[in-house]
Each structure stands twice: as C-alpha cells, then as structure tokens.
Chains A and B, each alone.
Chain A
C-alpha cells in the first residue's frame, strides 16, 4: 500500500548517506545483453499497447474515463496494480525484513476489508451517480467548494507522489545498476508519457494488467528461491525471533512488537481510518472500478481484486523475511549497511535479486521492478489528468467548450503531469526535508475524507457546509497532531506534547484524530445548516437510491457471496500466521 510506502520509508530520502558506504558493493546488479533484451521487448510492448488503443479515443471521456468499456477481469487486476508501485515493492520487502510477517497486516487488515466495503456498499453510489471522478461525486452530493478542496489536494498529492516515487527509482537504479539518475528518470517518464498520451486511461489500465502479471512472474521465483534456501517457513521460524513470524501474537503491547503499535492504533488507525480512507475514497483506485462496463462489474472489481491482494504478502513480504533468516545461516547473504550504521532495508529486494537470479531471470526481475514503477506512475498521471480537466479546468476555467477542447486539455494535462512529476523528482534531490515532510502529510490526507463519504453516502441530513468544514478542520487537526507530537525525531515542530513509540504509531493516531475531527465537525455543522432536498439526492445517498438487485445472477457474480468467500480465506490466513 502506498500508505506504508509513505508512512515508514523516511530513510529513503537520504541521498548523501547512500554513497560510498563501507561494506556495500557498488552496483551489485551486473546486466548482460539477455537482460537488456527483456527490458527492451517490454518497453516496446507497453508503447505498442498505447498505439493499439489510440484508435478508440474519440472523446474526452474515452481518453479520461474509458467510458465504462473495460471488462471486469481487467479492471480488477488494474485495481491492485495501480497501487503496486515500485515504492510498494521495495518498501514491503524492506518492512518484511524489518518487522517480519506482521507487515502482512498492511494487506490483510489494511486493505482487504476496505476493498470489500467499497465494492459492497459504496460502488452503487459512485457508479450510480454517473460522476466521472471522486471530486465530481462530492460536487453532486454536496457543493462546489467541497469538490474544489478535494480536487486541489488530490491533484497536488498525485503529482508529488509520482515525483517522489520517480526520485526513489532513479536513486535505486543509480545505486544498483550504475545508471545515471537523469537517464533512468527521463527514460521511464518518457515511456509512461507515450502510452498514456496515446491511449489515455484505457491504455494505462491495459498496461497495468500486464504489469501485474509481470510483477508476479518476476518476483515469485525470488520468493521461492529465497524461502527454500532459508529452509522453508520452518527453517525461517527456527532462525528468527518469534515476533518476526507472527502477525497478531505480539500486538498486545507496543513495546513487544517491532512496529511499536498497540491494538487500538493498529485496528482503528490502520484497519479502519487509513485503509478505508485510501481504498474507498482515493480516485486513483476508484477510477479503475468506475471504468467497468456495468454497475455489477464495478462492484465485483474490488472484490475480485481482494483475492490476489490476500496472496501478495507471499510475493513481496516473504523474501524480506527470508533475507533476515539467510543472514543467520551463514549462507553468504547480508543486508547492506547504511553509512551511519544499521541495515539499509531498502536494498533488500535488489540485493536478493543479485544473489539469487542468474543473468536472464535477472532481466525479468528488473523488468518487473520497472513495470511496478510504471504502473504506479501511470496510475497517478491518469488520475491527475481527469481531476484537472473535469474538476478544475471545466469547472473554473472554461465551462462550456466543445468536447474536442477538453480532449485536447486532457492530453496536454497528461504531458504537464509527467513534466511536473519530473520536476518534483528533481526538487526531492535538492530539498530532502520538504519531501520528508510531505510524505508525513500525505500519510493522513485521505484520512478525514472517509468520514465525509461515510456521512455523505449514508446520512441524508449531511450538508455541503458540513462536509467542507469537516474536511478542512480534519486536515488541520491532522497537521496539528503532527506538529504537537514526536516519534523517531519526526514531527513536533510546534511543541512536544506526546512521544509515540514509533512513527507508525504516530501516523495511525494522526489519522484517527483527523478522521474523528472531520466526523464530528461535519455532523455538528450539518445539523446547523439546511440539507439538500431529497429530490436532489437520488442515486447519491443511501435511502433515496434504488439499490441494484443481482438476485438473478449466479453466486460467483454476486458481490455478497464473493465477499463471504474472501472473508473466510482472510480468516484462514490470519489463523495460520497468528
């Protein structure tokens, strides 16, 4: 989850530290022509997809929203692939090594329940409202100012997220491959630009599916090789502290588990506020479900996606855990050290690849890493251009232009989005502290939004003034909490009123406070202001919407029974790794 990438990888943005580290082999990945061949074939392929899709693009909606034309198996895989950025792959492997299997909480607790919720309860309103974006839903349900606030925060956040992840990739490739920062940043950005410019959202979604398969096929062998070398799960358990191989057993007290979190913070902060805030309200993922051909398809999208999501920890987290076990078995593997001491967990994934993959498969692994980066970036770019074109340009700059004009604006915004991302990546190389701070802020930006949606979709009485002030105070409350508390020397720039045991705990509590503030303020202001008449709330709010009935469909196409199966599978995995 991007959340984790943002929440824990503070150390990432520390460029100076990463060079000339003693004991670190420079450029551990040595590529040969066969590895370059995979990369080049893949690059040609992604641009080819854009070229093939381009003929479909006739209107701005074709370009920006795919106009409800994508089959459900494709939207489902795109739903999780858009979130599987390179930062996620590297970050999850790193936290596997740092925190053990408890990292799986970010999938099992921090994603799957929210994915079921958005499919079961929220898609009927998103899809039924015919809104083209999440901010546009807010406009239909509440008012113009709420849309504006959300559209602007979202647009800024996507550009910076994409820039930060580009920065991280450029840094990593410079370190492990010896490629120059500029050339890897420009090359990857150019390829993403080509296929999103040609084929818009459809091209991005189609490519995300290919990227998803490539990520699985490229990283699963690493997981298998590393785990079997470490003696299987039994061998791993024998070599590691028990905290590393249990998800729930040590959650009881913050001092007992490596994440430094206590049950309330974990379950409410991560499992409810942050996870529902991300999966239910972030336009980046919601956009994929909205591209489905039918309402039924849009509801199945996140629920189908939950199945591979449950299994992802075995591909992305397990290698990190195996890496730590390998260190204690005299296998010859060690995690590189940071300059200031301590392990550089961000390098676990790439060093494992260097040790386990021969040339040939190494190229596939690297292509998979590149693919994960591109899927994350294309996700940001295609969400950014839609929000900018419809929610900012069409609403505030030029209202009643012919559609051709908006198609043109959409394409220009795609180019602008990529250029702004590159700009942010370079900004990050000069102003580490600002980026560090922004990551802390992004970690809670979505938190209050879920309170707005919960009240907006399920409580007729909530009003536009309520939503706007709730969101604004929620954001301010989050910022204040960050300014008044300290964890791992982060935050506390106003005063130090409370010390958290870990920045993850701090992050969870900021989210809880931000969400609660938004909820209470929205409620209070709504009660004091006039609500919209019910006639204007059709298809937007529970109680005045005809809910879809899928009684005639077979069980494996109905969201309810599918969600029950997901829950059963989820419980089994939680028990197995208790």
Chain B
C-alpha cells in the first residue's frame, strides 16, 4: 500500500454515508440538548466530503 489517502478516504466516505442516510431516515433523532440542527446529517456530510476529497486527491495523483 503506497497511498494512505485511498483507504482513509474510503473509511470516511463510508462512515459519512451511513450517518447521512441515518440522518435522512430519522430526522427526528435528537440529543437531549437540541439546537434544532440535524446533527447526524451535517456531521455525516462533513465526513463524506472529507473522504471524497482524499479519494479525489489520491486518484488525481495516480493519473
């Protein structure tokens, strides 16, 4: 394994995707101190975008 960005990108994309889907399916999943934000959706999106960036960097470097 030469490029750590690829497996790391996959991990964060997968974790992010699961969280995004969960956030969409259960938009009412809220913690006790709720700020009116769908925490799962936003955290998941951030992780998904981060994972995507790593994957993009890794594929760009290869081609």
Partner-B contacts on A (CB < 8 A): 34, 37-38, 41-42, 45, 48-49, 52-53, 74, 206, 209-210, 213, 217, 221, 225, 228-229, 331-333, 354-362, 364
Partner-A contacts on B (CB < 8 A): 1, 4, 7-8, 11-12, 14-15, 18-19, 22-23, 26, 29-33, 35, 37, 39-40, 42-44, 46-47, 50
Q: Pick the contact of B11: A42, A52, A331 (CB < 8 A).
A: A42
Q: A217-B47, A221-B39 are in contact. Are A361 and B7 (CB under 8 A)?
A: no
Give complex CA distance A356, B36 in Å.
Answer: 11
Q: How many whole Å from B13's CB to the nearest CB in chain A?
A: 11
Q: Within 8 Å CB of A228, what residues of B? A: 35
Q: Which 10 A-B pairs have the closest CB atoms?
A: A360-B40, A52-B1, A358-B29, A358-B31, A355-B33, A360-B22, A361-B43, A355-B32, A45-B11, A221-B43
A213 lies within 8 A of B8 (CB): yes
B7 lies within 8 A of A52 (CB): yes
Does more than half of chain B's interface fall in helix, strand or loop, or is it mixed?
Answer: helix
Q: Within 8 Å CB of B14, what residues of A? A: 41
Q: Pick the contact of A361: B1, B12, B19 (CB < 8 A).
A: B19
11 additional contacts, CB 8 Å, given A45-B11, A221-B46, A356-B39? A38-B15, A45-B7, A210-B11, A213-B8, A217-B12, A221-B43, A225-B37, A360-B22, A361-B19, A361-B40, A364-B15
Give complex CA distance A38, B15 in Å.
Answer: 7
B4's nearest neighbour on chain A, judged by CB, is: A206
Give complex CA distance A41, B11 in Å.
Answer: 8
Q: Within 8 Å CB of A206, what residues of B? A: 4
B1's nearest neighbour on chain A, judged by CB, is: A52
Q: Which of B8, B43, B46 has the most CB atoms of chain A within a 10 A radius of its CB?
A: B43
Give complex CA distance A206, B8 in Å.
Answer: 9
Q: Within 8 Å CB of A331, what residues of B? A: 33
Q: Within 8 Å CB of B11, what residues of A? A: 41-42, 45, 210
Q: Which of B7, B11, B19, B35 has the most CB atoms of chain A within a 10 A radius of its CB?
A: B11
Q: Within 8 Å CB of B43, what residues of A? A: 217, 221, 360-361, 364
Q: Pick the contact of B40: A48, A52, A354, A358 (CB < 8 A).
A: A358
Q: Within 8 Å CB of B23, what residues of A? A: 360
Q: How many whole Å from B22's CB to the nearest CB in chain A?
A: 5
Give complex CA distance A217, B11 in Å.
Answer: 13
Q: Which of A333, A354, A359 has the most CB atoms of chain B within a 10 A radius of its CB?
A: A359
Could you name 27 residue pairs across A and B whose Cβ atoms are closer than 8 Å? A37-B18, A38-B18, A41-B18, A42-B15, A45-B7, A49-B7, A210-B8, A213-B8, A213-B50, A217-B12, A221-B43, A228-B35, A229-B35, A331-B33, A332-B33, A333-B33, A355-B31, A355-B33, A356-B32, A356-B39, A357-B39, A359-B29, A360-B19, A360-B22, A360-B29, A360-B43, A362-B31
B47's nearest neighbour on chain A, judged by CB, is: A217
Give complex CA distance A121, B60 in Å.
Answer: 36
Q: A217-B46, A361-B19 are in contact. Are A209 and B8 (CB under 8 A)?
A: yes
Q: A333-B33, A355-B33 are in contact. Are A48 and B50 (CB under 8 A)?
A: no
Q: Which of A206, A221, A332 has the most CB atoms of chain B within a 10 A radius of its CB?
A: A221
Q: Within 8 Å CB of A37, what residues of B? A: 18
Q: How many whole Å from A24's CB to the nearest CB in chain B?
A: 16
Q: Within 8 Å CB of B26, what residues of A? A: 360
Q: How many whole Å from A370's CB to the nearest CB in chain B?
A: 13
Q: Which of B7, B30, B33 has the most CB atoms of chain A within a 10 A radius of its CB?
A: B33
Q: Within 8 Å CB of A209, what residues of B? A: 4, 8
Give complex CA distance A199, B4 in Å.
Answer: 14
Q: How many whole Å from A554's CB to the nearest CB in chain B?
A: 19
A356 lies within 8 A of B31 (CB): yes
Give complex CA distance A48, B8 in Å.
Answer: 11
B8 lies within 8 A of A361 (CB): no
Q: Pick the contact of B39: A41, A48, A333, A358 (CB < 8 A).
A: A358
Q: Pick the contact of B50: A217, A332, A358, A361 (CB < 8 A).
A: A217
B33 lies within 8 A of A229 (CB): yes
Q: Within 8 Å CB of B1, what residues of A? A: 49, 52-53
Q: Within 8 Å CB of B37, what residues of A? A: 225
Q: Within 8 Å CB of A357, what residues of B? A: 31, 39
Q: Pick the contact of A34: B8, B18, B30, B35 (CB < 8 A).
A: B18
Give complex CA distance A228, B46 in Å.
Answer: 18
Q: Which of A210, A225, A360, A362 has the most CB atoms of chain B within a 10 A radius of its CB?
A: A360
A213 lies within 8 A of B12 (CB): yes
A367's nearest neighbour on chain B, judged by CB, is: B15
Q: How many whole Å from A297's CB to the nearest CB in chain B?
A: 15
